[in-house]
Structure 1
Amino acid sequence: MQALNCYIYNDVSVSTGIIEAREWLDECMSDKQVKSLLLTVFAELAQNIIKYANRGKILLECTKFEGKDCVMICSKDNGPGIEKIEDALSENFSTSGTLGLGLPGIKRIMDEFQIESELGVGTVVRTFRYL
């Protein structure tokens, strides 16, 4: 199945991306609960792009990770980067006045979670959910 690239640059693109991701996931799998969780991850990553970087992209792909079939959701932005990744992954930590549950929640939902960030360059979050 072909990967899905969603460009995120405003609230409308977030909504459109969620619709496209739902349609893409409908073709990939039948488990409604897992689809719902993956859409939650997509939406959270998209909102983070808008909130912190203004624009970026999210890739959804059926692939293999460590030899296992999975769905990968990868977000990439050219924003300011994350100064302290360990803080950003802590429950209730927020630099924008939110609940601070986004990245920690994504990490719990997904089977594998990777984050790379460089100040002044941007952030890449790669997540994998085994099928």
Structure 2
Amino acid sequence: MSPRREKLTSPQTRIALARGNRPAQHLLPIPGPVDTEAARRLFRRQRRTAVRTVALLSLLLFGMSGAFALWPQLTVLRVSGVPVSWALLVVAVYPLLFLLALWHVRSAERAEEDAAARGEGAAGKGPTEP
């Protein structure tokens, strides 16, 4: 005869099960009506920003690859034992990637702020109180 099986649960599961089904008080109220055309304009503007960001990212990454292919001496040339191509990747590319990401987020936020300032839809306004 096999030994009796035991059900193992974590302490968090036991606590959650002990609470039972309570109504969710953390849910936000339903927002007011949304101007669909304004939301579409905001979406198009943010999509243009995203396409521009991807184009700049591609230019940066493929441009560096192209530069290394055009000038193979960057891989041979060394500074303190480190190939110049690697130093360029660390010193130039990563900060540029960070700045590109920062620019993209700021542009998307600015689009939402502009839409909210014009009163277009629920962009940037948050939920309305009941």
User: TM-score, normalising length from structure 1?
Assistant: 0.27
Task: Point out which structure has higher relative CO (alpha carbons under 8 A, 6+ apart).
Answer: 2
Instruction: Give the structure with the higher percent strand.
Output: 1
Larger radius of gyration: 2
Instruction: Give the structure with the higher percent helix.
Output: 2
User: TM-score, normalising length from structure 2?
Assistant: 0.27
